[in-house]
Structure 1
């Protein structure tokens, strides 16, 4: 009968002290205040630490320093690539700054967000990154009571009560809608995700409403998914209204819209144009390639990481930062007027 493999015991402070011939207190000083230890002793203790593979636990580090070096992020979902990309950039930058990141999802539910925030703070998170501006009074009261650094991503509003680091959703939607209109599209349908507790989507709709004279027209709410986009387009095609463009307020919805149009025998952009907002990696690989508005979420993630980490360390909140969206012209938006007023001309891809 074979014996189970043996496991080497993890070294602790006492093991390091014994091997180095010093006290536990001296080892602790080497770890926490090395400048107070003579160089020869410090070098000897460090050699033993390396030889034994000693690693301080996060709990021990927190007890000694009063710091956990852990930050939290609350996002609506991990199913949407835009949040996964943002969190990846944020975590990579935080690792460089010596912090760890814990993520919780909220399903766009402010009550659930407040509960998840409390759980994170109860477990030692030193600062929070929130998504959007729709939050409960209970969450704000908790942040104030505990004096916790917290900033907001995915939007930009210098007047908001917390620092915002993100893009201006109003500007992004206006850029998309104006591109369609300048390309000769006169009958634009707008397809968007749920607006309940989602200030980002609402800001985009408000921008379009302003450009339409103050009242939003031809807008259809759907599930924020590929399936939701396809379902919305099938509904639009069943209506007598002859749309010449579909503006999707998310690339994910636009993917579904393109699929549904292809299955219905519609040619994009000859019969109808499609535009998105986000510029996900897959947006350059659709057929035709998706024209969209680029939201610089990687830049936003890195700057949010720096903002919250520096706030925790220096006890100074960051200034609001706007990351600039930009138009990305590809192949799904045609030029309906054409250079000489001819219908059906197609805009060249970039």
Structure 2
């Protein structure tokens, strides 16, 4: 700050350090609150962690002291006093996919209703990374874990067995799994999509899917397609799960001598990329080729043409997982497996095949 010297008549630069009031010297703690309220530290702890068991007049005194001291509870201190951290960890393959974003939004919202917080870790579909990050979450006090799919490393499964931490599998339904699963039947969801194309008279169908490595959901969907008995032909194309991956797959598919009469993508993200790729080649959807996805992302409904797809109830899955995990943590009651039904969503990207059955050339 600049000040004028009365002796020299010149301006001088003075470093002025503002004084801190006594209230600013340190952060208030439980003992401070207890002293001001005239109660024990244990009583303050009960007010913070279990207010329903505290008498009304005591609750009011403690709350008044908290307000006066501007006391903010320390998460670490509360964990020490209560023995609970009140957070759970979710391990997902990536954040770069709208379907996981929708799931996490519903999961976090419902966990919050039950007084739990959420920490998210990404695994890039690497089972070793998943095990390492799961261990890290357990080490910092996670009370439960949420994981994607049924494929996990021995190290991960050993961690769950040793710690007995409540753990729920999502995006997959398997009633025989040692861990409870809350999700959908991936085989049935894929068959629902394929059956729709078969019913429209399509017989040469290209299937576009993401990487198979460590992705049991995609493997299950492909298994479902191959087990459905019909008289047509399926050709599979693997690509990255992105708009670019879908566009590149469209180039591969339409570059073949014999073009398909329908394209089935095992995710909406890829399907939208395929749509863009087809449009860049002046291939009309659905006049020249029917196109459908699997997920039912919000963007699919506003695409041109709107994308026929299979709705996966990911938001409901997030809510159901949150409720089941919260109950498991609080009551030690292991939830039962729960299957959420997929649903066919018919839009304008698929149409009846006008080509006579049996014709082999496009």
Instruction: Provide the rounded CA distance (Å) in 2 between the counterparts of 1:124 and 1:218.
Output: 47
Q: What is the correspondence of 1:98-113 to structure 2 with a 5 Å cutoff?
A: 98-113=115-130
The structure 1 residue matched to 2:187, chosen from 170, 187, 198, is 170
1:41: Cα distance to partner?
3.5
1:286 paired to 2:300? no
1:58: Cα distance to partner?
1.2
1:230: Cα distance to partner?
0.6
- The number of residues matched between the two structures is 340
1:94·1:101 contact (CA, 8 Å) conserved in 2?
yes
The structure 2 residue matched to 1:315, chosen from 302, 308, 332, is 332
Q: Which has the larger radius of gyration?
A: 2
Q: What is the correspondence of 1:71-90 to structure 2 with a 5 Å cutoff?
A: 71-90=88-107
2:268·2:297 contact (CA, 8 Å) conserved in 1?
yes
1:69 paired to 2:86? yes
1:33: Cα distance to partner?
5.8
1:205·1:216 contact (CA, 8 Å) conserved in 2?
no
2:34·2:41 contact (CA, 8 Å) conserved in 1?
yes
The alignment partner of 1:217 has SS state of: strand
Deviates more, 1:109-118 or 1:216-225: 216-225
Q: 1:114 — aligned with what?
A: 131
Q: What is the correspondence of 1:46-195 to structure 2 with a 5 Å cutoff?
A: 46-195=63-212
2:312·2:343 contact (CA, 8 Å) conserved in 1?
yes
In 2 relative to 1, CA 171–32 (structure 1 residues): closer, same or farther, beyond 3 Å?
A: closer
In 2 relative to 1, CA 258–10 (structure 1 residues): closer, same or farther, beyond 3 Å?
A: same
Instruction: Provide the rounded CA distance (Å) in 2 between the counterparts of 1:124 and 1:280.
Output: 34
TM-score, normalization: structure 1? Answer: 0.91
2:175·2:337 contact (CA, 8 Å) conserved in 1?
yes
1:161: Cα distance to partner?
1.4
1:329 paired to 2:346? yes
In 2 relative to 1, CA 16–191 (structure 1 residues): closer, same or farther, beyond 3 Å?
A: same
1:29: Cα distance to partner?
4.5
2:247·2:274 contact (CA, 8 Å) conserved in 1?
yes
Instruction: Provide the rounded CA distance (Å) in 2 between the counterparts of 1:222 and 1:35.
Output: 54
Q: 2:315 — aligned with what?
A: 298
**Where does the alignment leave 5 or more consecutive residues of structure 2 unmatched?**
2-15, 358-362
The alignment partner of 1:138 has SS state of: helix
In 2 relative to 1, CA 330–24 (structure 1 residues): closer, same or farther, beyond 3 Å?
A: same
The structure 2 residue matched to 1:225, chosen from 236, 239, 242, is 242
The alignment partner of 2:234 has SS state of: coil
2:203·2:232 contact (CA, 8 Å) conserved in 1?
no
Instruction: Provide the rounded CA distance (Å) in 2 between the counterparts of 1:123 and 1:83.
Output: 24
1:309: Cα distance to partner?
1.2
2:204·2:234 contact (CA, 8 Å) conserved in 1?
no
TM-score, normalization: structure 2? Answer: 0.88
Instruction: Provide the rounded CA distance (Å) in 1 between the counterparts of 2:113 and 2:54.
Output: 27
Q: What is the correspondence of 1:253-264 to structure 2 with a 5 Å cutoff?
A: 253-264=270-281
2:205·2:233 contact (CA, 8 Å) conserved in 1?
no
1:52: Cα distance to partner?
2.7
2:203·2:233 contact (CA, 8 Å) conserved in 1?
no
The alignment partner of 1:218 has SS state of: strand
1:4: Cα distance to partner?
7.0
